[in-house]
Chain A
């Protein structure tokens, strides 16, 4: 009958109208900035550098291998290698970045730097409210601004961080086991290389 579709449509909008006051599914608006949709775990915005422990300079995992700088498609990473070395998480002496700049107005959030890093040093952050009124300086993040602790990494990507920690723990355990084995071998060799004790009444 003519007009049936109109009445059905009007019933639907009326249901929407009155339902929007009572049920959440009828009113899907999220009133930003008072409310925010929570980000998913795999969200990625811009990179950050992970450091272990409390001191960001000493615990920085990055060894300035410059692989991420070379692999970055828009070339937004700039690294200056240091002249001296500092111990990393297993105790080995490594270089460290004296300067690590990322221009986030260039970064395209492709995550390639994260994928190629052999040292689990650079990861993707989920912070997106980064607007600033300084168009050039404000969007160039240096080493200090990029450094975030491992606890922060756990808070934003818990499963990833646990896997990374497990992997690094294994590496460390392997290295320690090797070091212990080497130390035992050295101790055994040192014990074998000690000259025999002099006998009583020997040699006239």
Chain B
């Protein structure tokens, strides 16, 4: 159904604005200026969203815990991030005496740089990708693993046993769940046939009747999305996987020795990682910038993308307010003994889905297999554990 030119223009408004602004420059400068402008916009928009998310998180968590969040600074407390930002900027920057100053300085920088790079491949609207890479998904995951190294650098350079312990736990957790994250995305790549994120979104933006072809509405997509969500929560060190920065266990884990603006950079990095991984989850499973019902396509695509990302953030906050923290061994057990086998089996079921062809039978078979495996493995996982002293055969 044809949408009116007003809505098409609204959909492409940022592209139109960009072209108009860049049109002032000579033709040879235009491509570079385009990219620079888009980079500037990303650097302004996402930290702004981060500021808004901090206050929404505090108020949301408060409401879930039967209390108000901050409500003194500005109307309904919405200027709280400004107060927090000023506080972070004027605090004294303390570097421990025996810490490794160079690595200590570089750790938050490399974290933030790697996380900002992740936004380069997310399609935030129709025609609104910064760089349309052929191997976009791979680029995203490459940047995601670079953050693990900076977490380690932060923990090690602080010369503090709690930081180091927190960093090692964080890295172990992130590596384990990275595997789950990658494998659950592979099933999407298998069906979409490309690593390029804009192709994956385009494959999901068709409709049968009024229902969209989002991958979450398929059995393997739902299972993959659940695994992806769990792995994404663990990757960004969010509750219930926030043992590395658990305040009651490890002071503040790997960012114990960071104060002032460097701590703010870690905080920024964590939240931006949350945004980008939600953005990727939206792109892979929730249809990216496409509308949920076919008659809603008049609403601009970037509104849909950001709404879905903010919905994911709300679910992150919801989980934080609900679940207790997982212990390190519980976390690792869960990753390697439940999530990884389930994700591998999900890959096989995705292959069945692809080769069975269209029809109702593939729905029934795939749903049955996935549900049965889930129930069976759930029972195995929920067996009670037996504790005792551990002996290590090769270490004695």
Task: Check A-B contact in the complex, CB < 8 A.
Answer: yes
Q: Which residues of A contact B (CB under 8 A)?
A: 1-3, 6, 9-10, 12-14, 16-17, 20-21, 26-29, 31
Question: Taking the nearest CB of chain A, how far is it from the CB of B81, in angstroms?
Answer: 21
Q: Is B381 in the interface zone, CB < 8 Å from A?
A: yes
A-B contact pairs, 22 of them (CB 8 A): A1-B375, A2-B338, A2-B374, A2-B377, A2-B378, A2-B381, A2-B382, A6-B322, A6-B323, A10-B318, A12-B322, A13-B322, A17-B63, A17-B318, A17-B321, A20-B63, A26-B66, A27-B63, A27-B66, A27-B67, A27-B68, A29-B67
Contacts of A3 in B (CB 8 A): 378
Select A10's contact among B60, B319, B381, beta carbons within 8 Å: B319
B67 touches A9 (CB 8 A): no
Q: Is B64 in the interface zone, CB < 8 Å from A?
A: yes
Contacts of B65 in A (CB 8 A): 16
From A18, which residue of chain B is reached at the shortest CB distance? B63
Q: A1-B378, A2-B378, A2-B382 are in contact. Are A28 and B66 (CB under 8 A)?
A: yes
Contacts of A26 in B (CB 8 A): 66
Question: Taking the nearest CB of chain B, how far is it from the CB of A56, in angstroms?
Answer: 40
Contacts of A14 in B (CB 8 A): 64, 318
Question: Taking the nearest CB of chain A, how far is it from the CB of B57, in angstroms?
Answer: 12
Known: A2-B379, A21-B63. 8 other contacts (CB 8 A): A2-B382, A13-B318, A13-B321, A13-B322, A14-B318, A27-B66, A29-B67, A31-B68
How far is A129 from B325 in the complex, measured between Cα atoms in Å?
40
Contacts of A21 in B (CB 8 A): 63
- Which secondary structure dominates where chain B touches chain A? helix
How far is A26 from B65 in the complex, measured between Cα atoms in Å?
9
Question: Taking the nearest CB of chain B, how far is it from the CB of A131, in angstroms?
Answer: 19
From A16, which residue of chain B is reached at the shortest CB distance? B64
Contacts of A17 in B (CB 8 A): 60, 63-64, 318, 321
How far is A20 from B321 in the complex, measured between Cα atoms in Å?
14
List the 8 closest pairs (A to B, CB-CB), nearest first: A2-B378, A13-B64, A20-B63, A9-B322, A13-B322, A29-B68, A17-B63, A17-B64
From A15, which residue of chain B is reached at the shortest CB distance? B64
How far is A180 from B377 in the complex, measured between Cα atoms in Å?
97
Residues 285-328 of chain B, each 1 if its beta carbon lies under 8 Å from chain A, else 0 = 00000000000000000000000000000000011011100000
B382 touches A20 (CB 8 A): no
Contacts of A13 in B (CB 8 A): 64, 318, 321-322
B322 touches A10 (CB 8 A): yes
Q: A1-B375, A6-B323, A9-B323 are in contact. Are A16 and B66 (CB under 8 A)?
A: yes
Contacts of B66 in A (CB 8 A): 16, 20, 26-29
Contacts of A10 in B (CB 8 A): 318-319, 322
How far is A31 from B319 in the complex, measured between Cα atoms in Å?
27
Residues 50-90 of chain B, each 1 if its beta carbon lies under 8 Å from chain A, else 0 = 00000000001001111110010000000000000000000
Contacts of A1 in B (CB 8 A): 375, 378
Contacts of B374 in A (CB 8 A): 2
How far is A17 from B63 in the complex, measured between Cα atoms in Å?
5
Question: Taking the nearest CB of chain A, how far is it from the CB of B69, in angstroms?
Answer: 10
Contacts of A16 in B (CB 8 A): 63-66
**Interface-centre pick from A9, A13, A14, A20 (highest chain B CB count, 10 A):** A13
Contacts of A31 in B (CB 8 A): 68, 71
Question: Taking the nearest CB of chain A, how far is it from the CB of B73, in angstroms?
Answer: 14
Residues 348-387 of chain B, each 1 if its beta carbon lies under 8 Å from chain A, else 0 = 0000000000000000000000000011011101100000
Question: Taking the nearest CB of chain B, how far is it from the CB of A182, in angstroms?
Answer: 67
From B71, which residue of chain A is reached at the shortest CB distance? A31
Contacts of B322 in A (CB 8 A): 6, 9-10, 12-13
How far is A2 from B318 in the complex, measured between Cα atoms in Å?
19
Contacts of A28 in B (CB 8 A): 66-67
* 8 A Cβ contacts from B15-48 to A: none
Contacts of B63 in A (CB 8 A): 16-17, 20-21, 27
How far is A29 from B63 in the complex, measured between Cα atoms in Å?
10
How far is A36 from B39 in the complex, measured between Cα atoms in Å?
50
How far is A169 from B45 in the complex, measured between Cα atoms in Å?
76
How far is A59 from B236 in the complex, measured between Cα atoms in Å?
72
Question: Taking the nearest CB of chain B, how far is it from the CB of A32, in angstroms?
Answer: 11
Question: Taking the nearest CB of chain A, how far is it from the CB of B125, in angstroms?
Answer: 30
From B324, which residue of chain A is reached at the shortest CB distance? A9
Contacts of A9 in B (CB 8 A): 322-323
How far is A2 from B337 in the complex, measured between Cα atoms in Å?
14
How far is A14 from B67 in the complex, measured between Cα atoms in Å?
14
Question: Taking the nearest CB of chain B, how far is it from the CB of A145, in angstroms?
Answer: 33
How far is A27 from B377 in the complex, measured between Cα atoms in Å?
40
Contacts of B379 in A (CB 8 A): 2
How far is A20 from B65 in the complex, measured between Cα atoms in Å?
9
